[in-house]
């Protein structure tokens, strides 16, 4: 991925991994637009990094995505990088589910349908650029699921699969397709900021940016800390990794 000279849109860019990426790309001289539902969070991020732009929209609403994409295309015609980062994670007890499956449906709409809809809406603009990229943020849990968060893990596995198909369909075009595969990172997603087992956010972002800098053709961005999950099946250790992960992290201690 080309890491300078871009106009970059990052969903969920006001906090966590999205904010870390936004700050890093902004520091490299890219034009960065952060988007999300919480205006206050976007404003705080912009105040800390003057020069960024914030736009509010609802990733769960198809009409909002269409309107947002049209506005982005009008206001930022040079947009050439989309980073689909926005996501939610909730523990679910499958033996005592809500009758309307509200949590599961919200996770699917946010984590899977949102990126698919936004990519579809912005791809025509991206394809007009001499160079463009789509980066989808999945998770190490796409490769080895954590049982207390089944729908979250399923959506991330689906994003991994979708990204592979998108990459193949766009072969030979000007649009590069990457997947960012985070480990357990210290963010406010499921109270990770207070968990000593989580990778510090600053360390994670620094390693990601170093990978992008030194491996410009990388397709799946995996820091060392996530490789145990990412390589579990291919290394023949899947059962051991799955059982170890789920024994260590239960719904009670998430």
pTM, to two decimals: 0.95
- The active-site residue, picked from 152, 162, 184, 204, is 152
Share of the chain above pLDDT 90, in %: 91
pLDDT of residue 193: 63
Active site (annotated) includes residue 184: no
Q: What are phi and psi of 52, to 5 degrees?
A: -70, 165
The interaxial angle of helices 114-127 and 150-169, nearest 10 deg, is: 20
State pLDDT tens for residues 207-230. Answer: 999 999 999 999 999 999 999 999
Hey, which residues does 96 pair with through a beta bridge? none
Q: What are phi and psi of 174, to 5 degrees?
A: -85, 0
Which of 19-23, 50-54, 95-99 is the least confident region? 95-99
pLDDT of residue 191: 62
pLDDT of residue 250: 63
248 pLDDT band, cuts 50/70/90, is: confident
Residue 253, pLDDT > 60, answer: no
State pLDDT tens for residues 76-125. Answer: 999 999 999 999 999 999 998 888 899 999 999 999 999 999 999 999 99
Contact (CB, 8 A) for 43 and 63: no
State pLDDT tens for residues 141-191. Answer: 999 999 999 999 999 999 999 999 999 999 999 999 999 999 999 998 866
Contact (CB, 8 A) for 85 and 137: yes
pLDDT of residue 97: 80
**Which of 179, 178, 152, 9 is closest to 80 using CA atoms?**
9
Pull the structure tokens for residue 135. Answer: 């980066």
Domains with residue ranges and CATH for the chain: 7-248 (3.40.50.720)
Q: What is the mean pLDDT of the chain?
A: 95
pLDDT of residue 188: 86
Contact (CB, 8 A) for 183 and 126: no
pLDDT of residue 154: 98
Pull the structure tokens for residue 235. Answer: 């290394």
Q: Mapped to the 3 state alphabet, what secondary structure does the chain carry? A: CCCCCCEEEEECCCCHHHHHHHHHHHHCCCEEEEEECCHHHHHHHHHHCECEEEEECCCCCHHHHHHHHHHHHHHCCCCCEEEECCCCCCCCCCCCCCCCCHHHHHHHHHHHHHHHHHHHHHHHHHHCCCCEEEEEECCHHHCCCCCCCHHHHHHHHHHHHHHHHHHHHCCCCCEEEEEECCCCECCCHHHHHHCCCCECHHHHHHHHHHHHHHCCCCCEECCHHHHHHHCCCCCCCHHHHHHHHHHHCCCCCC
Which residue carries 């205006």 as its tokens? 39
């Amino acid at each position: 991925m080309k890491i300078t000279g871009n106009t970059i849109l990052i969903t969920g860019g006001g906090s966590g991994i999205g904010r870390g990426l936004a700050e890093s790309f902004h520091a490299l001289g890219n034009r960065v637009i952060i988007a999300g539902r919480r205006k206050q969070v976007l404003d705080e991020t912009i105040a800390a990094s003057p020069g960024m732009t914030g736009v509010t929209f609802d990733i769960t609403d198809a009409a909002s995505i269409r309107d947002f994409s049209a506005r982005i295309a009008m206001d930022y015609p040079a947009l050439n990088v989309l980073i689909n980062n926005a996501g939610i994670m909730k523990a679910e007890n499958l033996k005592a589910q809500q009758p309307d499956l509200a949590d599961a449906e919200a996770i699917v709409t946010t984590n899977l349908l949102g990126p698919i809809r936004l990519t579809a809406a912005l791809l025509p603009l991206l394809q007009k650029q001499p160079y463009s990229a789509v980066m989808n943020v999945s998770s190490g849990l796409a490769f080895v699921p954590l049982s207390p968060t089944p729908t979250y893990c399923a959506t991330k596995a689906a994003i991994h699969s979708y990204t592979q198909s998108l990459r193949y369909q766009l072969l030979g075009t000007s649009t590069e397709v990457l997947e960012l595969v985070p480990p357990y990172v210290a963010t406010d997603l499921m109270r990770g900021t207070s968990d000593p087992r989580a990778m510090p956010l600053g360390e994670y972002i620094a390693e990601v940016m170093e990978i992008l800098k030194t491996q410009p053709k990388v397709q799946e961005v995996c820091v060392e800390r996530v490789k145990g999950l990412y390589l579990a099946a291919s290394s023949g250790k899947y059962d051991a990794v799955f059982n170890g992960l789920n024994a260590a992290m239960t719904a009670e201690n998430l």
